[in-house]
């Protein structure tokens, strides 16, 4: 038995929106006689998607892969156009979009209606950002961080002539959002700010930073394709040696040499059973 101390981030793991999506998907798989599909992975965690597959939930790459049955809308949301397309094809829809993401979509739509140019701080190709863009008539500007915000000035978009409304992808860090806001504040005639970063994400980020300060090593557990998990790794890395793993088997024992305290965290798409498995391996 190891004498190393393990400090687990209290809120690490599935958030409310992901739990809800999982429950709805599993309920559908049990009750529906027809095939149950998700468009793309239900959540960004390969191990959970594997489990869902075992329960009969099929991951379709596009609508062309679906002949009939039930389509589960992911927690990240879908653009309204895609929603209409799914409905018009006659598929039964199970709406597992997180209410917090819906709120961001509504705010983006509202900003455009009020005559604001909409700026989203987030990752261009993330499904959530695409779903937000889809709710806005016309163009939206997506910036990943301060460097891209600076480029907006260079591109001569003349933002200072415009009213700009700014929102964030729910999994952004407050630091990144603030930096972009600061740049645009100087550049715009009017700036309306909605901090749409999800509280669940913010809590995990803050707690992870606190734990990182107390330990010799930080393990971030979760899908390598999960944006919010990867961000936790980036946040903790400057503070203490940090590794991003999906499975306990990925722990390299040389990492633990001389390590007395280990911090454990995981993204909002990381199941608790996977976090427990990592803790078990460390204890053994």
Using CB under 6 A, list all residues that contact ligand SF4. Answer: 15-18, 75, 98, 100-101, 170-171, 198, 200-201, 268
Cβ-based nearer residue to ligand SF4, 15 or 152: 15
User: Closer to ligand SF4 at the Cβ: 21 or 245?
Assistant: 21
Nearer to ligand SF4, 43 or 143 (CB): 43
* Residues catalogued as catalytic: 128
- Give first-to-last CA distance, the chain, whole Å: 6
Query: Rounded to an integer, what is the distance from CA 126 to the centroid of its chain?
Result: 8
Q: ∠ at Cα 57 (27, 20), nearest 5°?
A: 40
By beta-carbon proximity to ligand SF4, the closer residue of 191 and 201 is 201
């Amino acid at each position: 038995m190891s004498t190393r101390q393990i400090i687990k981030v209290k809120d690490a793991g599935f958030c409310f929106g992901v739990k809800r999506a999982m429950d709805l998907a599993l309920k559908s798989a049990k009750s529906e006689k027809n095939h149950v599909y998700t468009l793309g992975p239900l959540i960004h965690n390969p191990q959970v998607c594997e489990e869902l597959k075992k329960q009969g939930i099929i991951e379709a790459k596009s609508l062309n892969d679906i002949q009939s049955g039930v389509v589960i809308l992911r927690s990240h949301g879908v653009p309204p156009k895609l929603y209409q397309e799914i409905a018009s094809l006659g598929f039964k829809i199970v709406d597992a979009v997180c209410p917090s993401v819906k709120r961001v979509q509504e705010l983006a739509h509202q900003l455009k209606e009020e005559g604001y140019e909409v700026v989203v701080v987030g990752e261009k190709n993330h499904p959530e950002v695409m779903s937000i863009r889809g709710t806005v008539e016309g163009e939206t500007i997506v910036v990943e961080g301060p460097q891209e915000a600076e480029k907006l000035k260079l591109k001569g978009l003349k933002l200072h002539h415009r009213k700009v409304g700014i929102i964030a992808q729910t999994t952004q860090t407050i630091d990144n959002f603030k930096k972009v806001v600061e740049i645009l504040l100087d550049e715009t005639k009017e700036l309306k700010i909605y901090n749409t970063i999800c509280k669940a994400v913010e809590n995990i980020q803050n707690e992870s930073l606190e734990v990182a300060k107390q330990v010799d090593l930080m393990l971030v557990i979760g899908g390598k394709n999960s944006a919010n998990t990867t961000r936790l790794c980036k946040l903790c890395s400057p503070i203490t040696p940090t590794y991003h793993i999906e499975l306990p088997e990925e722990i390299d024992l040389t990492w633990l040499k001389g390590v007395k305290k280990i911090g454990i965290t995981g993204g909002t798409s990381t199941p608790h059973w996977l976090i427990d498995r990592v803790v078990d391996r460390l204890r053994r």
